[in-house]
Amino acid sequence: MNARQRTVALVAGFATCVLLGWTGCGGVTVATVSDASTGLPGLDSSSDVVPGLDGAGDGASTDGSPVTDASPNGSAAAEAGLDGFCGSAGMELDGGCGDPQTDPHNCGGCGHDCLGGACEAGACVLLPSGVLATGQYAPSAIAVDTLNVYWLNAGTPVGPGGKVPPTYVGGQVLQCAIAGCGNSPTVLASALHGGLDGPGVPSVLTVDATSVYWADGTSVRSCEKGGCGCAPKTIATANGATAVAVSTTDVYFTMYSWGQVASCPIAGCTGVPTVLAASLVGPAGITLNTSDVYWTAESTVWGCALGGCNGAPTRLWEGQPNSTQANTIGIAVDANNLYWTNAQPFNLGSVFQCAKANCAGTLVMLASARTEPRGIAVDGTNVYWVEGAGVMKCAIGGCGNAPTVFAPSGSPAIALDSTHVYFTEPGATSTDGRIAMVAK
């Protein structure tokens, strides 16, 4: 069996620890990193998000042969025998041939390439206008810089599902030029493992000038924009790692299940990560500016100086616990304001704005009666978010609770540049997620 055909069985992770109350899930621990980052210039300012799990150390493959942790950073790629091979979206899945119903490079059968088109029901069609990539496996987070769009595929669900969020195998981090990539995105990191949608938690993918960063439920990881040979760098081992934000020197992350917010140098922790806040209830989304870091946690919004706040962050806003305001998720910041989503279902969700300097005294409800608003981003004029109804737009300061339906979506992830909005779409099937863009 070749490297492309091997898939690691995944049986444990962050969401299970949260929901079942298992012990031994732990908080932050130490990770050693030695590899360097190089790549293209860019900057991401979005705050979208999805949690995940690490498949390291499961010790078995689907064919019964042993799988050992052979890479220096304990990557899942090494376990799956995929070091040095990143392939195309879905290549590790479905026998190394993708889904013939949706894979644009194996449409209707292995090797039948749509040559830049899309694959629908096993037949090649033209790539829809505004779509950069099709045939993606549960795309769940997105970021953009001046040249490229980056996203995280959760992969294929392997259980348990139902009330317990599913776990996934075969996740990837991908890249496509903003100008288009012929429906052939570059896979930067592969053989990742994760959970797509934990207990109301988003997960972030973000970028700086050289690298892409994400949280996968047990670790905070990064990969150079030029690729990392399917062996992403482990910046910190942190159980419950949910979302990340990056300054010029450090990576900040939330840990949903352990109620902590922590940071590590971009090069990786050589000791225990710095805990900025603890004893929080469900810290989820995170964002920052040049001086402070902000995060959501259940029905609250918090802030802390980038250098730390002696374990005593500032509570900037508090909604009513056990109410429609008790699921704060996505968060974004600009020069003056904070913006966040309350991801309640059944038209109980909402989107808020307040001034950083006086949140309680300047609170504005931008939209109410929404269904699961999650990822949120802002430019100098408008606030954008994704919810069940699609991509929404509202003017900063308010839109009379009548946001514009900007584009259909239904996925949790959104990112902006100066001219376009980028978002993930679920597609018609679990193997036909799409990466789309629309002019502002």
Give the tens place of pLDDT for each residue, 37-49. Answer: 222 222 233 333 3
CA dist., res. 359 & res. 419, Å (int) = 29
List the single range of 46-50, 209-213, 247-251, 407-411 with lowest mean pLDDT. 46-50
CA angle 293, 299, 305 (to 5 degrees): 15
User: What is the number of other CB atoms lying within 10 angstroms of the CB of residue 61?
Assistant: 18
Place 170 in a pLDDT band, splitting at 50, 70 and 90.
Answer: confident
d(CA 236, CA 242) in angstroms, rounded, equals 12
Report the percent of the chain where pLDDT is more than 70.
72
Cβ burial of 129 (10 Å; 0-12, 13-18, 19+) is: exposed
For residue 332, is it within any domain?
yes
Number of domains in the chain: 1
Please indicate, yes or no, if residue 32 is contained in any of the structural domains: no
Q: Is 29 a residue whose pLDDT tops 50?
A: no
Does 21 reside within a domain? no
Decide if 188 is inside a domain: yes
Model confidence over 190-243: pLDDT tens digits?
766 554 333 333 457 899 999 999 987 778 999 999 888 778 899 998 888 889
Q: Which residue has the higher pLDDT, 157 or 387?
A: 387
pTM over 0.85: no
Tens digits of per-residue pLDDT, 80-139? Answer: 333 334 666 566 566 678 899 999 999 999 999 999 999 999 999 999 999 999 999 888
Burial of 241-266, coded b for 16+ CB within 10 Å and e otherwise, reads: bbbbbbbeebbbbbbbbbbbbbbbeb
Return the higher-pLDDT residue of 210 and 69.
210
Please report the pLDDT score of residue 169 as a whole number: 73
Inside any domain, residue 33: no
Q: What is the mean pLDDT of residues 276-305?
A: 95
Average pLDDT over residues 283-294: 96
Residue 311 lies in a domain: yes
pLDDT (mean) for 166-185: 88
Burial 21-54 (b: 16+ CB within 10 A, else e): eeeebebbeebebebebebbebebbbbbbbbbbb
CA distance 79 to 251: 26
Q: Is the dihedral of CA 95, 138, 164, 13 positive or negative?
A: positive
Q: Name the average pLDDT for the chain.
A: 77
What does residue 5 show for φ and ψ, rounded to 5 degrees? -95, -5
Query: What is the 8-class DSSP label of residue 4?
Result: G
Domain-located, residue 288? yes
CA dihedral 332, 19, 368, 405 (to 10 degrees): 70
Output the pLDDT for position 339: 98
Q: pLDDT for 138-148, tens place per residue? A: 888 999 999 99
CATH of the domain at 82: 2.120.10.30
What angle is formed at CA 298 by the lines to CA 295 and CA 302, rounded to 5 degrees? 30
How many C-beta neighbours within 10 Å does residue 126 have?
10
Residue 222 in any domain: the answer is yes
Q: Which domain holds residue 276?
A: 40-439
